Amino acid sequence: MLLWNLVGIGLTYFLVWRRKAKKSIPLGDGWWGHGQQTLRDDNKIYPFKVETSEDEINDLHRRIDQMRYTEPLEDCGFQYGFNSNYLQKVVSYWRNQFDWKKQVAKLNEYPHFKTNIEGLDVHFVHVRAPHRPGQKVLPLMLVHGWPGSFFEFYKILPLLTDTKDDLAFEVICPSIPGYGFSEAPHKQGFCSLDAARIFLKLMERLGFNKFYLQGGDWGSLITTNMAQMKPQCVSGLHLNMLAVTKRGVGMLLSLIIGPYLPFLVGFTREDVRRLFPYFEKNVYDLLMESGYMHIQGTKPDTAGCGLNDSPVGLAAYILEKFSTWTDRKNRDLEDGDLEKKYSLDDLLTNVMIYWTTRSIIPSMRFYKENFKTNPQNRVDARTGIFVPMGHAAFPNELMHCPLPWARWRFKDIRSYSYMPRGGHFAAFEEPRLLAEDFVKFVRKVEGKKR
């Protein structure tokens, strides 16, 4: 009898909590420009073009030529970070073969713009779909993370915009303030909630009152915050990275029972394969790969000084992530298998976006601003997400989030896919797989059949 009473009390509490659960979070407002706000935002949108100069290239080459290398330990691969033997090969290509002017022209193949929001000049790429009879065109915002940039999406853009399918997308790719060509905040406190609000204002300024969102890494959190702030504007939210935010009995039971009786906790065989046999090993691997987060979440300006001054140091710091986060097994290889999935031209173009804009320090500060308080106590962590949601679970992502865990936060999951290959930088590494899964999700939301 006592047991049934406890069950009844628990069920009542759960139903009351569900009824009172917040379905949105405050939009808020902010000003991140110099000094006090004296004027309203300039609502105009200005064309922008990526440019370079001989002076910029000559300065880069001079700094590269002055680099001092340290001999790596024997047979260490990428276990200690970017292997300096392979680094010298990458830098030699950068110095003698990489054509920055050619890559600038490639960046300018799509239209770039800037507009001022909350005191910051916000950069974005805006690609419209060619008009085709009978084709439905839907607006979509793609949001990058660290240490990526808007350039991560250049391979997926034509797959979404220039398609003969009955669905196509008009795509907006903004740079997070402090990244690339978006102006860095001049005041403390700029976090994902502020980036989300700015991007919502951007979409409103562009004339969109209903749109889709897609993101990974920081882009996953920012787009999720956008869906929490204005759920009425978000047709659907598609993510390729999910962070586990809930702890407690549910997670403990999942980890204890999951390896042996996965069906009792809603796990599939693939969940078991990705999480076990040793969950502790996954946690250890995550700790091994999160040292950068502790630095950037505490004293970003200190480490950032060296990266902002040394192009080779910056390249090693950024490109090591593109090796290990693509597949952790790459740590055992001297070249980090870096060129298996990416070209050096593409990788160095991403590095050059950070180098030429001097944005590595403000991009690192974004970690400190988001971790100043316990993320579990933030309003977005305590608020569910009620818009249609889809998840592409890539096998080499830093952490796997099974569907039952995702349901703790996302209340309307329409699509959950176990991707056959790929890691953290999905749009950069496996653009076709990500595009296909995103379109499949949108079809479910729109009720369209192929």
- Catalytic site residue from 367, 380, 391, 400: 367
Give the range of the structural domain holding residue 221, as residue numbers without chain letter.
Answer: 45-245+290-446
What is the distance between the terminal CA atoms of the chain, rounded to a whole angstrom? 54
382 lies in a domain?
yes
Q: Measuring CA to CA, which residue among 414, 438, 450 is closest to residue 212? A: 438
Average of pLDDT values for 287-297?
Answer: 89
Q: What percent of the chain shows pLDDT beyond 90? A: 75
The C-alpha torsion from 53 through 58 and 59 to 62, rounded to 10°, is 170
SS3 of the chain: the string is CHHHHHHHHHHHHHHHHHHHCCCCCCCCCCCCCCCCCCCCCCCCEEEECCCCCHHHHHHHHHHHHCCCCCCCCCCCCCCCCCCHHHHHHHHHHHHHCCCHHHHHHHHCCCCEEEEEECCEEEEEEEECCCCCCCCEEEEEEEECCCCCCHHHHCCCHHHHHCCCCCEEEEEEEECCCCCCCCCCCCCCCCCHHHHHHHHHHHHHHCCCCCEEEEECCHHHHHHHHHHHHCHHHEEEEEECCCCCCCCCHHHHHHHHHCCCCHHHHCCCHHHHHHHCCCHHHHHHHHHHCCHHHHHHCCCHHHHHHHHHHCHHHHHHHHHHHHHHCCCHHHHHCCCCCHHHHCCHHHHHHHHHHHHHHCCHHHHHHHHHHHCCCCHHHCCCCCCCECCCEEEEECCCCCCCCCHHHHCCCECCEEEEEECCCCCCCHHHHCHHHHHHHHHHHHHHHHCCCC
Asked if residue 221 has pLDDT above 90, the reply is: yes
217 in active site: yes
Average of pLDDT values for 161-167?
Answer: 90
* pLDDT for the residue 5: 42
Cβ contacts of residue 336 below 8 Å, gap of 6+? 77, 78, 82, 83, 86, 319, 320, 323, 324, 330
Average of pLDDT values for 142-169?
Answer: 96
263 lies in a domain?
no
Asked if residue 277 has pLDDT above 70, the reply is: no
2 lies in a domain?
no
- Catalytic site residue from 194, 217, 380, 437: 217
292 in active site: no
* pLDDT for the residue 432: 98
Nearest-angstrom CA–CA distance, 182 and 411: 33
Give the residue, 56 or 244, on which the prediction is more confident.
56
Q: How confident is the model at residue 434 (pLDDT cuts 50, 70, 90)?
A: very high
* pLDDT for the residue 282: 66
Average of pLDDT values for 256-275?
Answer: 78
- Catalytic site residue from 86, 327, 424, 437: 424
Q: Measuring CA to CA, which residue among 294, 247, 164, 236 is closest to residue 442? A: 236
Average of pLDDT values for 390-417?
Answer: 94
Q: How confident is the model at residue 1 (pLDDT cuts 50, 70, 90)?
A: very low
Q: How confident is the model at residue 178 (pLDDT cuts 50, 70, 90)?
A: very high
Average of pLDDT values for 337-348?
Answer: 97
Structure tokens given for 165 = 């399918």
Q: Read off the pTM.
A: 0.91
349 lies in a domain?
yes
Task: Please tell me the least confidently modeled range out of 19-28, 232-241, 303-312, 440-449.
Answer: 19-28
256 lies in a domain?
no
Domain count, the chain: 1
Structure tokens given for 211 = 């749109």
Asked if residue 187 has pLDDT above 80, the reply is: yes
Give the residue, 420 or 249, on which the prediction is more confident.
420
51: domain CATH number is 3.40.50.1820
7 lies in a domain?
no
Which amino acid would we find at residue 188?
A: Q
Nearest-angstrom CA–CA distance, 301 and 440: 42
Question: What are the residues facing 410 on neighbouring strands?
Answer: 385
367 in active site: yes
For residue 340, how many other CB atoms are within 10 A of its CB? Answer: 13
Q: How confident is the model at residue 278 (pLDDT cuts 50, 70, 90)?
A: low
* pLDDT for the residue 254: 75
122 lies in a domain?
yes
268 lies in a domain?
no
* pLDDT for the residue 11: 44
